[in-house]
Amino acid sequence: MRFATGLVLIDAPASALNMFGKPAESAEENEVAVKKLKKGRNIYAYISPQAWRYWWRKTLEIYFSWNMSPLFRTEKQVFTAANPIKYDDDDVFGYMWAPKTERGKNEQGFALTRVSPLKTTPLISVLPARNSLTLDEGYASRHEGDPVPYRQEFYSTIFKGAFSLDLDAVGRFTIVYKSGYLNLLTPEAIPRILELVSDKKKKEKVLKKALEVMNYEEEYLEPAKQLGVKMLEKEWIMPDEVRKKRATETILALRLLTGGAKQTQYHTDVTPKFVLLLNVDAGINPFISDIVFEESGEVKFDSEALALRLNDLRDVIPEKARLYIGYDKGFIRSLGWDVEEIKAAIEEAGVQVSTGSVKSSIEEFVKEIEAYYG
């Protein structure tokens, strides 16, 4: 199992990238707060994983022309097509769809589900709210009549987030009857599934109806044949070139990340200004937890903690794998970090390090991913 893992830092010098809405405790009608969480005695602004993943998905659509899955809406839920053969994002971002006679309605607990190969944390402010958040009080006065007061939070901070992309899961779809692993349904799988349930007649009816609603032959089988998908009893595997393309473009999209709320008033470049990238042969992420932290109002990097952590993980770091440190020179200068010192500390732990711009580091890291698929 190999995972492409990473940490990103996004500079938000005056921004409001993900809003909560009106705070419950506010008496003001026109007040909008940013999303916040509490950790210990401190409160931190954050950007939800849904928002970050939406930016990432949109960037893949815009800059890499990904074929995006259509959305189907019910009163309280929204679903994608749940077709990773045709739609790139259903493969990498996962899905849950409970088919019946029309999109969005469940029946007998049956659902196509896929655990997302791409895992993401929220993007959380490194600085606590007391050192990063402010409330703008203003008046809308472009209209005729009395000005209308409003209040709006925004922050000046750095957001930290981590991700992990399961390279083995990309382009590989299981047909196993349990939550998260019934990625596809085939006519051949129905007898095997019926052996696992008690009410076989009722379940058989549901499964056959699901195949009809899915339009299995046209939407799944024919596209799979055209692409050369390897179709086994319990899994379908896309050709290596398709898997490689989807995995590498997912990582390459990071440097072009686009999105965020309130961009008209607080224009913010959300592309990462600092990245750590490493392939790991285990489902862990060495960059989660406090190697980037706040101390006395400053953002610090604990290279010794990272070096010790990587030293502990050397048995699951692939041979010839390198830690890639990508950085924006101006951003690093503003923090007072010395990348060469960070590099030296980590190489003492026996892990090779490459440094460069964010763009060059991501592109070099992607070459390791390409080599993994052959």
CA dist 194 and 203 (Å) reads 7
- What are the beta bridge partners of residue 152? 32, 136
Could you write out the DSSP letters of every residue in 31-56? EEEE-EEEETTEEEEEE-HHHHHHHH
Q: Determine how β-strand 235-237 pairs with β-strand 31-34.
A: unpaired
Overall average pLDDT of the 172-187 stretch: 95
Q: What are phi and psi of 299, to 5 degrees?
A: -95, 120
Higher pLDDT, 164 or 77: 164
Tell me: pLDDT of 102 over 70. no
Tell me: pLDDT of 10 over 60. yes
The pTM is what? 0.94
Q: Residue 26: what pLDDT?
A: 73
The tokens describing 374, both together, are 């052959």
Chain-centroid distance of CA 210 in Å reads 29
B/e letters for 15-30, b = 16+ CB within 10 Å, e = fewer, are bbbbbeeeeeeeeeee
Q: Residue 142: what pLDDT?
A: 81
Indicate the length of the chain as a whole number. Answer: 374
95 neighbors 114 (Cβ within 8 angstroms)? yes
Q: Residue 318: what pLDDT?
A: 94
Q: Residue 108: what pLDDT?
A: 58
**pLDDT by residue (tens digit) across 42-68?**
999 999 999 999 999 999 999 999 999
CA dist 157 and 266 (Å) reads 13
Radius of gyration of the chain (CA): 23
Tell me: pLDDT of 76 over 80. no
The tokens describing 191, both together, are 């007898």
Higher pLDDT, 21 or 278: 278
What is the share, in percent, of the chain residues with pLDDT greater than 70? 97
pLDDT band at residue 101, thresholds of 50, 70 and 90? very low
Residue with the two structure tokens 């000046």: 156
Overall average pLDDT of the 203-210 stretch: 87
Q: Residue 104: what pLDDT?
A: 47
**pLDDT by residue (tens digit) across 288-340?**
988 999 999 999 999 999 999 999 999 999 998 999 999 999 999 999 999 99
205 neighbors 99 (Cβ within 8 angstroms)? no
Q: Residue 41: what pLDDT?
A: 93
CA dist 161 and 75 (Å) reads 32
CA dist 302 and 319 (Å) reads 25
**H-helix or E-strand spanning residue 83:** none
